Chain A
């Protein structure tokens, strides 16, 4: 059981690490009848990296810098809660927090660009992207 939890937990940690630097949004892909379905995971990975590179608008870059630079994780969950509760600094504790703080608002333009690039990349690789 604990091994199973570890198997879930370790990828979770790495996923969260990535999420704090860029959106954790993932396009919805219909794999029904797709000959490319087996490549979806690999293509998702590649396209996420490419989309991240293309979405570096000045405002978005600043927001992402704040997400990384403002991390206070060594002080534990209490410190994150302290940052989370302060509306002005909420964004500093991670994109996964979802929708509070000026940093997140500034990142919206970059986020839209990221999503568009992500979807376009997958479509170009033959996947049926629904959104």
Chain B
């Protein structure tokens, strides 16, 4: 009886450890996607920013249009405040991402920190941003 319990525990550990490692790898991959997209945003490079987005995303075109307009008229800088991997299912991976955006000297713009849930989806074997949902946000004074 004791040996079978120990065997079951050992099998559980053997199955659990690789799963944890896979999750850690995925979390790191997704965080890099998020960081690289923000870096492209800071370079005001629309094509590069959108290269981290899934082209089949329902918000792809709207996002591209907005960035094209904003990069011409505003000088914004974004910074990833935190990244917390939530998990994944067989199609999407989820992470909670806080981002700070500032635009010194841009009239009418309020610096802010947004709290978002970002959905990632694989396109051509590469993880890309599918969509981002605003959970909350704080305008800075």
Residues of A within 8 A of B (CB): 2-3, 5-6, 8-10, 12-13, 16-17, 20, 69-88, 93-94, 96-98, 100
Contacts and interface: CB of A to CB of B under 8 A. Distances in A.
Contacts of A96: 133-136
Nearest to A4: B87
Interface string B90-118: 00001011111101000011111110111
A105 B74 CA distance: 25
B53 A94 contact: no
Contact of B67 (A16, A71, A79, A97): A79
Contacts of B100: 81
B7 interface: no
Interface residues of B, number: 60
A92 to B, nearest CB: 9
B67 A75 contact: yes
A97 B133 CA distance: 10
B97 A77 contact: yes
B87 A71 contact: no
Given A81-B100, A81-B101, A9 B94 contact: yes
A70 B86 CA distance: 26
Interface in B63-95: 63-64, 66-67, 70, 74, 76, 78, 80, 85-89, 94
B41 interface: yes
A16 to B, nearest CB: 4
Contact of A2 (B87, B103, B139): B87
Nearest to B99: A77
A81 B106 CA distance: 14
Contact of B129 (A5, A12, A74, A81): A74
Contacts of B59: 71-75
B51 to A, nearest CB: 11
Contacts of A3: 87
